[in-house]
């Protein structure tokens, strides 16, 4: 019997805009609140009842494959009733990635998702909408935004939700004129949020053409040749984790449960705190935080709100961390204050340092008595 749904996660991103955080790992491996980004994409799909998930990797693919397999072991997948496949393919674009794994897609419909966005898109509602639209070949997840559409591009829909035009970063006048001439429902900016539902018939088109990209080639082709292409528009949380600033925001948002039901790992305590292991009694902490395991905390440590602390870190005395993301194996000296920053793996922060609004790449050393403000420090940098 052919299953109704399966999913493909595109996890090939290099993450160049996230440098120096991606200096030694690929983008899907970047941790959000102590979990790699790709894990949130997997959870989002399995919570919607999708049992078969195919992950297409590329940059640092072997390392990413190893990490996924170590977390989503056969035992865990069997317990959850899901199957995760990571084929060894070399793809050149979003559509090409699906082409390369088409033989693994055996369901009537399938979802294509991304490993570098954080969202609580109502997936089951999205999937139901796709099926109810008289066997639409494709349905695109969309969202109204408050920002100008000229920043993201825009999509125009007719009164039935059918996509009639894509406007790539149009002017405000173009949006208005297009809306008037095509009788769209509204002129509000509506953007493509990067998750798609497809009827399996689309696989024939993908295999018969040399199209590489959904947004640039497949979707315009469907519109031009009168295929049924719909837009699912709803209000939900969505963030493209594209640069260090939005990366910091995404951690804060997960801690504030904007991505519910996706949450940080660990035991949940009151006031939105998650601990993988019980914290020491002398540790002071605020609301909306998560803390990993095997950490050593000195005296008078204060983990303030909207902060994520990884594992195997060592904190000296009189340390204050606020609205900050700290990865694994980080050493902090005495009298250290860090605000609104990201500290990547294996960093050493000396005594009496103050760091504010900084991105510190992996394996960096900040010598004692340094005060850093609004800096981006590359991997292996020493100050």
What are the contacts of 358-364 at 24+ separation with CB within 8 A?
Answer: 359/20, 359/21, 359/244, 360/20, 361/19, 361/20, 361/21, 361/23, 362/20, 362/21, 362/23, 362/24, 362/327, 363/24
Q: Which of 14-18, 178-182, 190-194, 222-226 has the lowest mean pLDDT?
A: 178-182
- Top-level class of domain 268-377: mainly beta
Q: What is the mean pLDDT of residues 129-138?
A: 88
Every domain of the chain with CATH number 2.160.10.10 lies at 268-377
pTM over 0.85: yes
Confidence of residue 261 (pLDDT cuts 50, 70, 90): confident
Every domain of the chain with CATH number 3.90.550.10 lies at 5-244
- For residue 146, is pLDDT > 90? no
- For residue 254, is pLDDT > 60? yes
- For residue 189, is pLDDT > 80? no
Q: pLDDT tens digits for 343-363?
A: 999 999 999 999 999 999 999
Q: What is the mean pLDDT of residues 72-76?
A: 96
- For residue 327, is pLDDT > 70? yes
**Residue pair 142/190 in contact by the 8 Å Cβ criterion:** yes
Q: Which fold has domain 5-244?
A: Spore Coat Polysaccharide Biosynthesis Protein SpsA; Chain A (3.90.550)
């Amino acid at each position: 019997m052919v299953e109704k749904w399966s999913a493909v996660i595109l996890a090939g991103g290099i993450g160049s805009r996230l440098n120096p955080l991606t200096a030694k790992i690929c983008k899907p491996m970047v941790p959000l609140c102590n979990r790699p980004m790709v894990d949130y994409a997997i959870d989002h799909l399995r919570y919607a009842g999708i049992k078969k998930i195919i992950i297409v990797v590329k940059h640092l693919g072997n390392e990413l494959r190893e990490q996924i397999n170590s977390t989503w072991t056969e035992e865990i997948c069997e317990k959850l009733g899901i199957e995760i496949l990571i084929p060894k393919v070399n793809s050149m674009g979003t559509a090409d990635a699906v082409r390369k794994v088409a033989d693994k897609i055996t369901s009537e419909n399938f979802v294509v998702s991304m490993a570098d966005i954080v969202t609580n898109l109502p997936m089951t509602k999205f999937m139901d909408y796709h099926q109810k639209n008289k066997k639409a070949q494709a349905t695109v997840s969309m969202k109204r935004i408050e920002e100008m559409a000229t920043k993201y591009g825009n999509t125009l829909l007719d009164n039935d939700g059918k996509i009639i035009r894509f406007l790539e970063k149009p002017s405000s006048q173009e949006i208005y004129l297009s809306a008037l001439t095509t009788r769209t429902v509204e002129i509000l900016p509506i953007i493509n949020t990067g998750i798609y539902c497809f009827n399996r018939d689309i696989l024939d088109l993908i295999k018969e053409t040399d199209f590489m990209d959904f947004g640039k080639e497949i979707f315009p082709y469907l519109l031009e040749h009168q295929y049924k292409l719909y837009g699912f528009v709803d209000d939900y949380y969505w963030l493209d984790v594209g640069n260090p600033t939005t990366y910091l925001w995404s951690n804060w948002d997960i801690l504030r449960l904007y991505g519910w039901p996706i949450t940080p790992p660990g035991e949940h305590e009151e006031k939105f705190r998650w601990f993988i292991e019980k914290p020491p009694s002398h540790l002071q902490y605020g609301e909306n935080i998560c803390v990993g395991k095997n950490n050593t905390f000195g005296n008078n440590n204060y983990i303030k709100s909207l902060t994520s602390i990884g594992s195997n870190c060592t904190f000296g005395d009189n340390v204050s961390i606020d609205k900050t993301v700290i990865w694994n194996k980080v050493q902090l000296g005495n009298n250290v204050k860090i605000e609104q920053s990201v500290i990547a793996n294996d960093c050493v922060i000396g005594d009496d340092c103050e760091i504010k609004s900084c991105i510190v790449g992996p394996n960096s050393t900040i010598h004692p008595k340094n005060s850093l403000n609004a800096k981006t420090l590359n991997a292996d940098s020493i100050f």
